[in-house]
Amino acid sequence: MRKFKGRIITPGTAKATAVVTHGGFNTLASMQMGLQFGDKQVKCSDQSNSEIYKLPLAGSALCLPQTIGSTTGGLVLYCACAMERQPACMLFSKSIDSLAAAGSILASVWLDGIKMPVIDNLGDEFLDYVKNGMTITVEEDGTVVVE
């Protein structure tokens, strides 16, 4: 078990299974198909991301360095939350980008009862340590426990 401390972007607690990518996460390419065509698990549809391709994103602890790709990424995150198919939490090893921050913050503010804790600046050690299938717990103070 290891603990990592990051910066809270959107508050909350979560406990979920890790889905880990070491490359940039293309939000639109990864989530659009699942959201658009009713896949309740929102399996990753980005064929360019072989680490997580076809893994379920909804309810997962999504561990990533950063998001990449289309400027619609923030809207896709907001829509996933509005449809209640969002990751349980998003955990960034690096600083969050403005698009992912906007989508997650707007969902947190505009959608009653929807929680998707987002923590960034967890460090490269975090992403080196965490593996697919590990249990992740996000604590209220921004501590991330990896088991």
**CATH number for position 50:** 3.50.30.10
**Per-position pLDDT tens, the chain of length 147:** 999 999 999 999 999 999 999 999 999 999 999 999 999 999 999 999 999 999 999 999 999 999 998 889 999 999 999 999 999 999 999 999 999 999 999 999 999 999 999 999 999 999 999 999 999 999 999 999 999
CA geometry: angle at 57 spanning 141 and 74, to 5°? 70
Quote the domain boundaries for residue 103. 2-146
Q: State the Cα–Cα distance between residues 45 and 49, nearest whole angstrom.
A: 9
Which residue, among 88, 24, 82, 81, has the nearest Cα to 56 in the 3D structure? 88
Whether the pTM exceeds 0.75: the reply is: yes
Count CB neighbours of 133 within 10 A.
Answer: 10
Query: What are the φ and ψ backbone dihedral angles of 36, each rounded to 5 degrees?
Result: -70, -35
Count of domains observed in the chain: 1
Structure tokens at 124: 């490269």
**Do 84 and 114 form a contact (C-beta atoms < 8 A)?**
yes
pLDDT reported for residue 70: 84
Which residue, among 90, 88, 100, 87, has the nearest Cα to 64 in the 3D structure? 90
CA-CA distances (angstroms) from residue 33 to 38, 43, 124?
8, 8, 30
The one-letter code for the residue type at 92 is: F
